[in-house]
Structure 1
């Protein structure tokens, strides 16, 4: 295994820990700052929205930077932002610091995945992407549960300090172990957004957006959605997050190998269909610990198993535009996550919190229809390649 992929994965682990740990401490944030849980949930929304909107802008404005410098700068900003969150005296500063953390993540995450894909031969891209993304999925197995436990023990501010320390260690690893990699040709923002004019790319990104919006409707408010299974105990919730994260890591790695072997269509359709059914049953399976465990395992394996074939599908559409397309895919995920915070907050206000799974299932089901539409569009031999649009 290329050690450089492991270094990139370590940075993704830090980003992933911050992305997922906030959901586990929202009740503590709400109580500490005397704000509604739905308002505290906008920590997730603003972070994801910042990541989504800034990823293509950052990629265009600093395209001439060496990849190592860009990765390190992103991690430094990310560390400082989490320190501000930990020290913030009110919800306003907390939310502003989440925007800054999104900036750091926007500099690091798309750069890391694109760099990982460029380090290997085309026939090994699925595996390489799986390794880099495994850093984020493994954060759900270790970083987020540990951060949730720390929040229940020492308070949510200690959780944010924990995230800052994890990111600092990742920056040290990148600085010491990652060699400089070739800087891709510079592209303007207009050129980076040009793939959106290709219906194949647009449909694939829409699939990602809908699927992860549906999944994170539940995850953002998982402490509330699974309160019957956990009994409100942060330690039990942390244990469930560990289980979910282990399943996510296994699903992510398996998807890389299966995608290289079977192609992206079968893995995408199977993963989405299974998750849709799993979420539709959550109002009942989340009611007890015995049924919540298998539900979370299925969610972890298939939910994270979707990401690799989606990225593989995008790269197959336009191999020379891989960095641009993977950046747009990260933005699609972030927009979905941002939407989930708002949609989930509204659903909690209007309906019972235990019905969030049904809301998520609706979005995920629509994503399956769009995924098949994307496949049919890609299969048309006379459609213009996105390479001609995005290649410098």
Structure 2
């Protein structure tokens, strides 16, 4: 199951590292190629809750097998895609498979593990997505830059085949735990505190991915890096993002999640502004490359910090309906990525600095939305001190003494 989430995570993000090559191969502009990420993320955001309802009563093993079959077919189609339209169809299929697989894998992991081991099981299975950022995307980018982007998708398809074979051989039947209707999911979005939290996630992720989708192009234009050298940048981002992901859990246990999210949004504003300044001043020299590497590391340490904090706020706001609200949180994540593809595609023709400025603006708006919605959590009002009771002049009875 972890190998499956690793393959899906690599497939979702690796296209950023080979976007220019995909565009050149399919004879479309860089901005149009970036819309492939919009297609994937948009379809995932919409299809994941719908698929969960349609397959809610199916065995979890069957659902994961179906999802991996769709995913493998999609990536094989991408390998041989002769034009942009077929590539779009491939990304639609891949998104449907990913949206079907990830929630089912999480449910299956929780279902087959002992109660005291469920946390570790979920961490392992969903950790495949984190490892994909640290290992899968840099490796896929290296292969795509050094050999061909089609080889990258072929390897991802092969990983999907191996995951399918492993599930078929080793996993027993896992019955469904029930289904939540679309009406229930929509009504859960209206719970107090949920809309503002989801909105801040969408806007912040839009900012992060406006730059991330075109990161290889940005680094090439500002720092002069090309080919396999770009892999190092993705490796730095992936490793620091993993550190950020693990650090977030510790911070949430020791700080109010609203404060963590506020600090993360503020940090993103600063880092994105620094990217814009570097884009203006960068001249492709060695110092520019070092500055970009440092900024990417800081970016990785802040870009995923707000999401776990906002997830905890969703849990606290939703109570018993937390699982439904968390699924909406996942959809908001991909909705933000879809918007980023459109925004970045419109701005990329205006130069690298425009992407960083837009990213900073999104982070600033997300911070404003968050501060407006969480003011009471950030600055809780102090209760007035009660006056000291006047000393009693009545002789104490035995019952009074015992109560004291």
Q: TM-score range by the shorter chain?
A: 0.7 to 0.9
1:326 match: 326
Cα contact 2:191–2:317 (8 A) shared by 1? no
- Structure 2 residues without counterparts, runs of 5 or longer: 283-287, 381-404
Normalising by structure 2, report the TM-score: 0.84
CA distance in 2 between counterparts of 1:182 and 1:268 reads: 37
Please point out which of 142, 152, 166 is paired with 1:159: 152
1:39 matched residue in structure 2? 32
The structural deviation recorded for 1:373 is 3.5
Please give the alpha-carbon distance, in whole angstroms, between the structure 1 residues aligned to 2:47 and 2:150.
26
What is aligned with 2:295? Answer: 295
Alignment match, 2:390 = none
* Alpha-carbon distance change, 181 to 368 in structure 1, aligned in 2, over 3 angstroms: farther
Shift of 1:87: 0.9
Counterparts in 2 of 1:23 and 1:60: CA distance versus 1, 3 Å: same
* Matched residue SS, 2:176: coil
- Report matched runs for 1:197-212 at 5 Å: 197-212=190-205
CA distance in 2, matches of 1:134, 1:275: 24
Check whether the contact 1:134–1:249 (CA below 8 A) recurs between aligned residues.
Answer: no
d(CA) in 2 for partners of 1:178 and 1:255?
Answer: 32
Residue 359 of structure 1 pairs with residue 369 of structure 2: no
Distance in 1 (CA, whole Å) between partners of 2:123 and 2:259 is 17
Deviation at 1:229, TM superposition (A): 5.1
Tell me which residue corresponds to 1:4.
none
Computing the radius of gyration over CA atoms, which structure comes out larger, 1 or 2?
2
Distance 1:283 1:69 in 2: 48
Is 1:315 aligned to 2:308, yes or no? no
Cα distance, 1:233 vs structure 2: 1.4
CA distance in 1, matches of 2:376, 2:206: 23
In the TM superposition, 1:173-212 aligns within 5 A as 173-175=166-168, 183-212=176-205
Report the Cα offset of residue 55 of structure 1. Answer: 1.1
| C-alpha displacement of 1:322 | 3.2
- Which of 81, 84, 101 in structure 2 is aligned with 1:91? 84
Distance between the aligned counterparts of 1:280 and 1:131, measured in 2?
35
Contact 1:55 1:106 in 2 (8 A): yes
The offset of 1:307, in angstroms, is 2.3
The RMSD of aligned alpha carbons is 2.7
Contact 1:130–1:308 (CA under 8 A) maintained in structure 2: no
In 1: Cα distance, 2:363 partner to 2:106 partner: 24
**What is the aligned partner in structure 2 of residue 389 from structure 1?**
none
Tell me if structure 2 keeps the 8 A contact 1:66–1:182. yes
Q: What's the offset of the Cα at 1:113?
A: 4.7
